[in-house]
Amino acid sequence: MAKNKRVQVTFSKDQWELITKLKDSFGNKDADVVRNIVLAWLAEKSIISENTKKKLKGV
């Protein structure tokens, strides 16, 4: 299994206020909320499912 990768990101005050409003819905810790927002966005854009399909086909 791959090791976890940590990244540092910067948000504006307005962006952070939006993110904090999503606590409880997307997680309890800041990192969980940001991670789950990113994963939800990737899934919405079908990026996750397309990559999974390609891996299954061996592309």
- pLDDT, tens only, 3-20: 889 999 999 999 999 999
The answer to whether position 11 is within a domain reads: no
In a domain, 14, yes or no: no
What single letter denotes the amino acid at residue 44? Answer: E
Whether 51 is in a domain gets the answer yes
pLDDT over 80 at 25, yes or no:
yes
Position with higher pLDDT, 47 vs 28:
28
Residue 1 lies in a domain: no
22 and 37 Cβ atoms separated by less than 8 Å: yes
Q: What is the pLDDT of residue 43?
A: 83
pTM recorded for the entire structure? 0.72
Helices of type H across the chain: 13-21, 30-44, 47-57
Question: Which among 52, 50, 48 is positioned nearest to 39, based on CA atoms?
Answer: 48
What distance in Å separates the CA atoms of residue 24 and residue 44, rounded to the nearest whole number? 20
**34 part of a folded domain:** yes
Residue for token pair 């996750």 = 48
Please state the domain count of the chain. 1
